Structure 1
Amino acid sequence: MFPEKALEVLKHPGVVAIATQGEDGPHLVNTWNSYLQFSEEGWMLIPAGYMHETETNISKDNRILLTIGSHEVQGKLGAGTGFLIKGTAEFLYAGASFEQVKARYPWARAALAVKVTSVTQTL
């Protein structure tokens, strides 16, 4: 499901933008490329330290959009590429996926688990 080039992006420094839908419109938060990992079941896992508004939004509408990118990975037209990731999400507070995140990021209060439905290269 995850293209090799997108996995390559995650190996480089970069920002991940996470968009959810709130009552007042879209809500964005950021995290780092290096924080993303995958569960054995194929879920994308993101440590959540705060993300309280994101958590509230996901509880009402679990659709999520993320963007990742790196100027160090060859894109469609030159140096740099990015991807739009669509999926559904939930916050995990226990279980194997949560423990996987907590082992690497002890500060995480939860794991944002994303079931990816599409990955589209945008750059």
Structure 2
Amino acid sequence: MDPKFLKVIKATTPATIVTVNAHPAHVVNTWSHYIHVVDDHTLLIPSAGMHSIENDFPTDNHLTIAVGSYQVPGTTGTGCGFHVHGTGEFQTAGAYFNEMKAEFDWIRAVLVVTVNDIEQKI
């Protein structure tokens, strides 16, 4: 995974998750430092709510995550941002859920994101 992306998600900044198959699109937020990287293609995000995007997944589970940090140098100076494109699945049991529940006792589920690509925007 891109080292800059890993720096950005360690910052304490918002992460916005968007599904576009609803009209209007559904948007939820979390903190970027809550995102766990399992490997180059798997991210874990704790979920207390996120019902709107979960309800979209039976029709289309594609999502985009936008993260950024002014603390990480970007392509043209201060600030760096990324779009993560992938698919999502909410899990309420299993190894990923247990791992995240141990750190975030308030979760009801874990959003498991399968990453298709990560695109630096700035």
TM class, shorter-length:
over 0.9
Q: How far 1:42 moved relative to its partner?
A: 4.5
What CA distance in whole angstroms lies between the structure 2 residues aligned with 1:88 and 1:50? 18
How far does the alpha carbon of each residue in 1:25-65 deviate from its partner, in whole angstroms, 9 at most, with x for none?
31111100111002368420001101111110122211010
Work out whether residues 41 and 116 of structure 2, in 8 Å CA contact, stay in contact via their aligned partners in 1: no
What CA distance in whole angstroms lies between the structure 2 residues aligned with 1:92 and 1:41? 20
- Match in the other structure for 2:102: 103
Q: Summarize the Cα distance change of 1:118–1:42 in structure 2 as closer, same or farther, 3 Å threshold.
A: closer
Q: How far 1:109 moved relative to its partner?
A: 0.2
What CA distance in whole angstroms lies between the structure 1 residues aligned with 2:93 and 2:28? 23
SS at 1:10's partner residue? helix
- Match in the other structure for 1:86: 85
Q: How far 1:12 moved relative to its partner?
A: 1.2
Q: How far 1:21 moved relative to its partner?
A: 2.5
The structure 1 segments of at least 4 consecutive aligned residues displaced by more than 6 Å after TM superposition are none
How far does the alpha carbon of each residue in 1:77-100 deviate from its partner, in whole angstroms, 9 at most, with x for none?
001100010001100011111111
What CA distance in whole angstroms lies between the structure 1 residues aligned with 2:18 and 2:112? 14
TM-score by length of 2: 0.94
Could you tell which deviates more after superposition, 54-63 or 74-83?
A: 54-63
CA RMSD of aligned residues (A): 1.4
Work out whether residues 20 and 26 of structure 1, in 8 Å CA contact, stay in contact via their aligned partners in 2: yes
Question: What is the count of residue pairs matched by the alignment?
Answer: 122
Write the mapping of 1:66-81 to structure 2, written as runs, cut at 5 A: 66-81=65-80
| Letter aligned with residue 19 of structure 2 | T
Gaps of 5+ in 1: none
What CA distance in whole angstroms lies between the structure 1 residues aligned with 2:34 and 2:79? 20
Q: Determine whether 1:39 maps to 2:38.
A: yes
Gaps of 5+ in 2: none
